[in-house]
Amino acid sequence: MSAVIEKHDHHHGPQKGVLRWLFTTNHKDIGTLYLWFSFLMFLTGGAMAMGIRAELFEPGLQLMDPIRYNQLVTMHGLIMIFGGVMPAFVGLANWLIPMQVGAPDMALPRMNNLSFWLLPAAFTILLSTAFMEGGMPGFGWTFYAPLSTNYPNIAYFVFAIHIMGISSIMGSINVIVTIMNMRAPGMTLMKMPLFVWSWLITAYLLIAVMPVLAGAVTMLLMDAYFGTSFFDAAGGGDPVLFQHIFWFFGHPEVYIMILPAFGITSHIISTFSRKPLFGHSSMVYAMVSIAVLSFVVWAHHMFTVGMPLAAELFFMWATMVIAIPTGVKVFNWVATIFKGSITYETPMLFAIAFVVLFTIGGFSGLMLAITPADFQYHDTYFVVAHFHYVLVPGAVFSIMAAVYYWLPKWTGNMYDEKMGKLHFWLSFIGVNVTFFPQHFVGLAGMPRRYADYALQFAEWNAVSSVGAFLFGLSQLLFLYIVVKAVFAGKKATAQVWDGARGLEWTVDSPAPYHTFEIPPKVKG
């Protein structure tokens, strides 16, 4: 097969220079672009987070006024969600889905190119507000009306969100079409690797909720500039309606950022335990259940808006149900490790940290679901601690695990294992020192999105800031390790990891520019 590929490469390999990246329709190139873009955004959003933590290091306003602080909080959220985590997963999808299902490329390569290049445009628009009078959006990433409708420069924000939404929808269409039509002969749906499954479900979620977000921002735009009153009580509108629409998007969005992580973790844990995943089909059913449930739990973000008792009870019970499939997943991972023959390379360390810390985030999530207690937790640092536990050592750790795991396949070189482990331990300690104390200040009553706070919260905030700087600076090490592996390192074999299973490990390392021109056969 490799002979076929070499011959093909000879005809039209990658173009030279910058044009290769501008006009590429190759899923591997586009995957690389997505990943580098998301890393750039991760550093940008991370720098903002360090600005936030520097300001919160002690009570009082030291570095910035509250306007700037709110802008950083808002942009940190928007950048990390729409620029960091989501594009990283799309990048992984681009690299891996065709190779895992045995397809030569994504189904719609030109659209693939467009959906990537829309992203830098969207973020340029969003970030350009930093240089305008009135500055960046400062109303929180949740942009609750009517605070947001009276903000300067909101049109730029709305337009940027629209472009990101279009990009996401196009990316999702591409994923679904590829998976549905281009699987290798013999690969039935239930035989699909879990990362592919997780992305299939994620893509449907994206297509379902991105238009809802587009609706929300459009109504906002109309309220701000065209005299409508969707969310303005003075004109007969309803500010709570905004929150219902937003969270109808927002909750599935949360799972969009975690489902691919479930897929990644399953692959890595199975590989380094040298054992098949304990329950492949139960993992699939668990992910599908979580995705379906994500549409009926949105108002648990709104327990304090004054909903009727029946609604509060419904959303509490529905939210608690999610713990069941999530539990199934965690138990599955543990059962996969059980009686394995385990080694702890960097991807495995990140994957296990994912299981443990994501579960801790799940515990606080379950506590938050208990409505009477949520009246105390809501909009305090307890919530900040909760969602950072599921997003940072959750989603972000899974992305790092994936990069270490597949990097030898992408570059043909092994990364520096010692440095990888160092990066892991610094990140692991940094994350916990940053976010664990936030549970404490939250329970003690410190509200979130506060530029300044009362004196009794000072000690743990200082600890949290130290952790944040440790975590943030450690990511430069990650950059160094990846760049080093791109250019040098021990040559990787095709198999790379002795316990790895799946079609991507059957092609050379680095993976040739075109793979699976002739579909491989998947055995029954």
Partner 1 sequence: MKKEIGLFLVFLFSVNLNADWLDVNMPLGVTDISVKVFGIHMLMFWIMVAIGAVVFGVLFYAMWRYRRSNHKNAAQFEENHKLEIAWTIVPTILLVLMALPASSLLKEMYDHEAEEGGIDIQVIGWQWKWQYKYLDERVGSKPLSFFSNLTTPQEQYEFNQATKTENYLLEVDEELVVPINTPIRFLITSNDVIHSWYMSDFAVKQDAIPGFINVAKTTINKPGIYRGNCTELCGERHAYMPIVVRAVTEEEYQNWLQDHRETAAQLAFLTEREWSQDELFAQGKEVYQTRCAACHQVNGQGIPGFYPALAGSDVVMNDKFKQIEILMEGIRGSQMQSFAEQLNEVEMAAVITFTKLSWDNNKMGSSEIVIPKDIVDYKNVDT
Interaction between residue 156 and partner 1 (CB under 8 A): no
Which residue, 135 or 510, is less far from partner 1 as judged by CB? 135
Interaction between residue 128 and partner 1 (CB under 8 A): no
Residue type, 33: L
One DSSP character per residue, 291-319 reads: HHHGGG-GGGG-TTS---HHHHHHHHHHH
CB of 33 to partner 1, least distance (A): 34
Q: Which residue in 99, 219, 257, 337 binds partner 1 (CB under 8 A)?
A: 337
Only segment of 24-32, 195-203, 355-363, 485-493 that touches partner 1 (CB under 8 A) = 355-363
How far CA 196 is from CA of 89, 95, 123, 179, 432, in Å, comes to 11, 11, 28, 8, 30
Is residue 28 among the annotated active site residues? no
Task: Judge whether 275 and 342 are in contact, CB under 8 Å.
Answer: no
- Tokens 């080093």 sit on residue: 484
CB of 367 to partner 1, least distance (A): 5
| Cα atoms in the 13 Å half-sphere on the side-chain side of 158 | 19
Mapped onto helix, strand or coil, the DSSP state of residue 447 is strand
Only segment of 93-101, 175-183, 375-383, 515-523 that touches partner 1 (CB under 8 A) = 375-383
Q: How many Å apart are CA 286 and CA 5, to the nearest integer?
A: 38
Interaction between residue 190 and partner 1 (CB under 8 A): no
Which residue, 63 or 111, is less far from partner 1 as judged by CB? 63
Q: Which of 415, 418, 390 is nearest to 405 (CA)?
A: 415
Which position among 27, 28, 53, 76 bears the catalytic label? 76
Tokens of 380: 């305090």
CB of 334 to partner 1, least distance (A): 5
Strand partners, 380: 447
Mapped onto helix, strand or coil, the DSSP state of residue 168 is helix
Interaction between residue 323 and partner 1 (CB under 8 A): yes
Name the CA dihedral angle for 227, 134, 147, 211, rounded to a multiple of 10 degrees.
Answer: 70
Is residue 270 among the annotated active site residues? no
Is residue 58 among the annotated active site residues? no
Question: Interface mask (CB under 8 A) for partner 1, residues 490-509, using x and -?
Answer: ---------x----------
Q: How many Å apart are CA 499 and CA 276, to the nearest integer?
A: 9
Is residue 141 among the annotated active site residues? yes
Buried b (16+ CB within 10 A) or exposed e, 18-54: eeebeebebbbbbbbbbbebbbbbbbbbbebbbbbbe
Residues 56-115 that bind partner 1 (CB under 8 A): 59-62, 65-67, 69-70
Which position among 162, 329, 439, 449 bears the catalytic label? 329
Task: Judge whether 367 and 274 are in contact, CB under 8 Å.
Answer: no
Is residue 484 among the annotated active site residues? no
Q: Which of 379, 365, 361 is nearest to 441 (CA)?
A: 379
Interaction between residue 466 and partner 1 (CB under 8 A): no
Interaction between residue 318 and partner 1 (CB under 8 A): no
Interaction between residue 292 and partner 1 (CB under 8 A): no
Q: Which residue in 366, 419, 429, 486 binds partner 1 (CB under 8 A)?
A: 366
Strand partners, 447: 380
Residues 221-250 that bind partner 1 (CB under 8 A): 233-234, 237-240
Residues 474-493 that bind partner 1 (CB under 8 A): none
Is residue 301 among the annotated active site residues? yes
Helix or strand run (H / E) with residue 431: helix 417-443
Which residue, 8 or 448, is less far from partner 1 as judged by CB? 448
Which residue, 132 or 483, is less far from partner 1 as judged by CB? 132
Which residue, 345 or 504, is less far from partner 1 as judged by CB? 345
Interaction between residue 356 and partner 1 (CB under 8 A): yes
Task: Judge whether 449 and 72 are in contact, CB under 8 Å.
Answer: no
Task: Judge whether 107 and 178 are in contact, CB under 8 Å.
Answer: yes
Which position among 255, 377, 460, 505 bears the catalytic label? 255
Q: How many Å apart are CA 148 and CA 153, to the nearest integer?
A: 10
Residues 420-449 that bind partner 1 (CB under 8 A): 439-440, 443-445, 447-449
Q: How many Å apart are CA 52 and CA 501, to the nearest integer?
A: 43
Which position among 21, 36, 141, 513 bears the catalytic label? 141
Interaction between residue 138 and partner 1 (CB under 8 A): yes
Residues 6+ apart with CB under 8 A from 238: 230, 231
Q: Peptide bond preceding 510: is omega within 30 degrees of 0, i.e. cis?
A: yes
Q: Which residue in 125, 290, 299, 451 binds partner 1 (CB under 8 A)?
A: 451
Only segment of 42-50, 77-85, 115-123, 310-318 that touches partner 1 (CB under 8 A) = 310-318
Is residue 7 among the annotated active site residues? no
Which position among 183, 251, 386, 388 bears the catalytic label? 251
Which position among 29, 55, 105, 312 bears the catalytic label? 105
Is residue 448 among the annotated active site residues? yes
Is residue 76 among the annotated active site residues? yes
Q: Which residue in 54, 328, 426, 494 binds partner 1 (CB under 8 A)?
A: 328
Only segment of 26-34, 160-168, 354-362, 399-407 that touches partner 1 (CB under 8 A) = 354-362
Is residue 300 among the annotated active site residues? yes
Mapped onto helix, strand or coil, the DSSP state of residue 491 is strand
Residues with a catalytic annotation lie at 76, 105, 141, 167-168, 251, 253, 255, 266, 300-301, 326, 329, 448
